[in-house]
Amino acid sequence: MPWPNGEVAKTKTKTKTKTKTKTNHATCDEPRQRRPAPMRAPSQQLDKGTSIFKYTRTKSSGLTYIYQYSTTLSEPWVSFESVTTPPPASLSATVEEVTVEVPAALITANPSTLFVRVKAE
């Protein structure tokens, strides 16, 4: 499109080429493998009637799992023990499902807002 004085606008096109380099820290003999997550999202949400939720985790991860709750999603998170501790159910050779029973007193004391998390250390 011409300018009012009749000149045509000139444009320049620039092309940039970027090269991304990925570093693989594995040796040639040991291909890089993706490690499974030690813990996954809950496989059963918290049921207020039974006070139970379930989650899956990697077997033999060497981690310690701590159950905590909050009413605000901010610090402090308070630790609690599961009321019952049934053995984890094996889902496969590497994954197990854990059942956690939240103390009824926590649910009764916080009927509208209770956040529960599993912390792996």
Q: What is the reported pTM? A: 0.62
pLDDT at 8: 59
Other C-beta atoms within 10 Å of 27: how many? 8
Binned at pLDDT 50, 70 and 90, residue 41 comes out as low
Yes or no: say if 96 and 56 are a contact pair by the CB < 8 Å rule. yes
Report helix, strand or coil for 106.
Answer: helix
Yes or no: say if 24 and 32 are a contact pair by the CB < 8 Å rule. yes
Yes or no: say if 121 and 64 are a contact pair by the CB < 8 Å rule. yes
13: left (phi over 0), alpha (psi -120 to 50) or beta: beta
pLDDT at 29: 45
pLDDT at 81 over 90: yes
pLDDT at 49 over 60: yes
Report which of 72, 61, 70, 19 is spatially closest to residue 36, judged by C-alpha positions. 61
Instruction: Give the tokens for residue 120.
Output: 């792996």
